[in-house]
Structure 1
């Protein structure tokens, strides 16, 4: 088996588990905070929001830093650092004596992340041009699917065997990712002795600055669009299901439907992007996703919503890998890690921004407007991509 294919398998597993680890706490957070001694419902909601969002904010700050370290010291050491560090930290969350320690551990989790950045850089630099779209498409399913399926996994574990096992099982899986990375990832990395390069100097060496900005903002918007439904999903499902039983489970399945679809679509659309051009896939997928959000405001039951979320996941399957492919093509190898660090940071910020936007729009205008505004953002982004990427640059 070619080295990049073997590394792809290991990285996929590690990124999936990392995605689960970042998001599995979402459905159990309020319950765990109550378990830790907080009884006021309003305070539980506030602390839950801080504890969930802080990890993604700190990850956005540190992703470019770990991307730079990957360029300097190699990608495999960064993979080992992130997987072992997250395994330890998430396991420790199960022993948190109070909410202050829990929040501190969530903050630390965001600080030591970087597995996704290093994996993306490793596969991007090892894969030949002919297979880049397929490889990055397959890899992109891992983090997205892990993040979207994580809440369902966390909810099922909590429902079956309790709160604390959510942290212990996730930590154990991350330790398995550490072991498989240690044993099976291969990298021939030769460190170049260079003076430390500042962020300003790195940016000065980027040949396609405008395009890099467009792609990073696009990744921010599509990630935000996926997560606008996160804070309102349980309320919306309760409303359209006429207060049926198993609301938590149904809500988790609805939220995760796009993740399952992403797993199916991303490798196939990644391969297609190798044939027809990644820029075409990005444009078509943005338009399709923007249209698919509108009917979600008019569904009559959870199964219709689940089907539409699945459709959204199919369209989004073409976005992450195509953006990664374009970034790879326009970025010099020497700074690939740092640039991917910035794009991953944009994705983390999108998770946080989507959760905030969805909650605020629903509170002020109503749940239906969450879908209308998300659709408008995606379609406006498609227009921007059409003029700044599709029409101006030849990626053949």
Structure 2
């Protein structure tokens, strides 16, 4: 088996395990905050948004730093650093005594995270070029598959074993990812330059800056859309459900509906993207996701929400993989780690912005308004992609006629 295929399998498993671990935490976070002594619903919503989002705002700062380190020292060391660090920090969350200690550990997690970024960079640089798009698309299903099982497992553990055990088990899963990576990932790494480029110098040598900026902004908006609802969806499920004894389990099911749809749709949309071009799939998926958010504000019961979350997962399956494929194609191999680091920073900022936005809007205006605001952001982004991405790719095609087949435009 070629080394890049083995690396893909190991990275897929590692990102899947990481996704399972992280997915376990999200639906039980409001319940854990209540367990720590915060009982007012509005305060739970606000602290949930802060605790969930603080990890990602710090990650946005450190992601380009770890991306540059990956370009200098190799991607495998970054995989080992991130997986072991997260194992220790998340395990420690089970011992916190108050919400402020929890927020502090979530902040520390943001400093050391980056397993997914290192995996994407490793696969993008080590995979044969003719398989790069397929490999990146396949890799993108790993955290989705993890997010499918994670909330269900987290809800079950919370109800049967207790909230603290969610963090202990998650930390153990991170340790499994560390051990698997240490023994099975192989990297043929050659440092391409000895000079450490600053962020400004890196940006100056990036080709097609306009398209790159649009990809960063799109990643930001997608993360806002996904995570504006996640910190408070447990509260929304509690409002919709008459069975308050199984809120954690039902919230896990709501989280998992999107993940299941994503896994089903991702291979289909990936093949469609290879045939008609990733920019077209991206545009259609943005419009569909923007429209699907609106009726979520008007659901009358939990099962209506489940159906809409499933449809949202189908739309989202065409977005992040398309962005990653486009970023890979317009980025030189020597800068892949840093550019993916910047792109991941945009996603982390979106996660933070979305979680804070969701918590604050829910606390002051009501949960329904989150869906309206998120829908508006997605549709505005769709209009921008329509006018700017098509224009940039059309210019690129004219200047590089021999690249037409690669871009499929």
Structure-2-length-normalised TM-score: 0.89
Moved more, 168-177 or 261-270: 261-270
Report the 3-state secondary structure (helix = DSSP H, G, I; strand = E; otherwise coil) of the residue aligned with 2:238.
helix
The residue that corresponds to 2:370 in the other structure is: 370
Pairing 1:243-282 to 2, within 5 Å after superposition: 245-282=245-282
Distance in 2 (CA, whole Å) between partners of 1:167 and 1:351 is 21
Q: Residues 243, 161 of structure 1: CA spacing in aligned structure 2 closer, same or farther, 3 A cutoff?
A: closer
Q: Residues 298, 29 of structure 1: CA spacing in aligned structure 2 closer, same or farther, 3 A cutoff?
A: closer
CA shift, 1:383, in A, is 1.0
Q: Residues 300, 163 of structure 1: CA spacing in aligned structure 2 closer, same or farther, 3 A cutoff?
A: closer
Structure-1-length-normalised TM-score: 0.92
Q: 1:341-378 CA distances to partner (integer Å, 9 max, x unpaired)?
A: 11111112222222222333344444333222222211
Q: Is the 1:21–1:90 Cα contact (8 Å) retained in structure 2?
A: no
The residue that corresponds to 1:19 in the other structure is: 19
Report the 3-state secondary structure (helix = DSSP H, G, I; strand = E; otherwise coil) of the residue aligned with 1:194.
coil
The residue that corresponds to 1:142 in the other structure is: 142
Distance in 1 (CA, whole Å) between partners of 2:11 and 2:338 is 18
Q: Residues 256, 298 of structure 1: CA spacing in aligned structure 2 closer, same or farther, 3 A cutoff?
A: same
Q: Is the 2:38–2:44 Cα contact (8 Å) retained in structure 1?
A: yes
Q: 1:96-131 CA distances to partner (integer Å, 9 max, x unpaired)?
A: 355444333222211111111110011111223432
Q: 1:288-336 CA distances to partner (integer Å, 9 max, x unpaired)?
A: 2122222223323211211111111011111111100000000111110
In the alignment, is residue 344 of structure 1 matched against residue 338 of structure 2? Answer: no
In the alignment, is residue 93 of structure 1 matched against residue 87 of structure 2? Answer: no
Matched positions, count: 395
Q: Is the 1:257–1:309 Cα contact (8 Å) retained in structure 2?
A: yes
Distance in 1 (CA, whole Å) between partners of 2:367 and 2:97 is 36
CA shift, 1:258, in A, is 0.8
CA shift, 1:148, in A, is 6.5
CA shift, 1:49, in A, is 3.7
The residue that corresponds to 2:66 in the other structure is: 66
Q: 1:15-37 CA distances to partner (integer Å, 9 max, x unpaired)?
A: 2232344453333334444555x
CA shift, 1:254, in A, is 1.2
Distance in 2 (CA, whole Å) between partners of 1:89 and 1:387 is 44
Distance in 1 (CA, whole Å) between partners of 2:242 and 2:30 is 24
Pairing 1:1-396 to 2, within 5 Å after superposition: 1-33=1-33, 35-36=35-36, 38=37, 41=40, 46-147=46-147, 150-242=150-242, 245-393=245-393, 394=397, 395-396=407-408
CA RMSD of aligned residues (A): 2.3
Q: Residues 177, 231 of structure 1: CA spacing in aligned structure 2 closer, same or farther, 3 A cutoff?
A: closer
Q: Is the 2:123–2:136 Cα contact (8 Å) retained in structure 1?
A: yes
Q: Residues 290, 149 of structure 1: CA spacing in aligned structure 2 closer, same or farther, 3 A cutoff?
A: farther
Q: Is the 1:135–1:270 Cα contact (8 Å) retained in structure 2?
A: no
Distance in 1 (CA, whole Å) between partners of 2:351 and 2:195 is 35
Distance in 2 (CA, whole Å) between partners of 1:93 and 1:276 is 46
Q: Residues 367, 190 of structure 1: CA spacing in aligned structure 2 closer, same or farther, 3 A cutoff?
A: same
CA shift, 1:223, in A, is 1.6
Residue ranges of structure 2 left out of the alignment (5+ in a row): 398-406
The residue that corresponds to 2:403 in the other structure is: none
Distance in 1 (CA, whole Å) between partners of 2:92 and 2:116 is 22
Q: Residues 338, 138 of structure 1: CA spacing in aligned structure 2 closer, same or farther, 3 A cutoff?
A: same
Q: Residues 153, 380 of structure 1: CA spacing in aligned structure 2 closer, same or farther, 3 A cutoff?
A: same
Q: Is the 2:85–2:112 Cα contact (8 Å) retained in structure 1?
A: yes
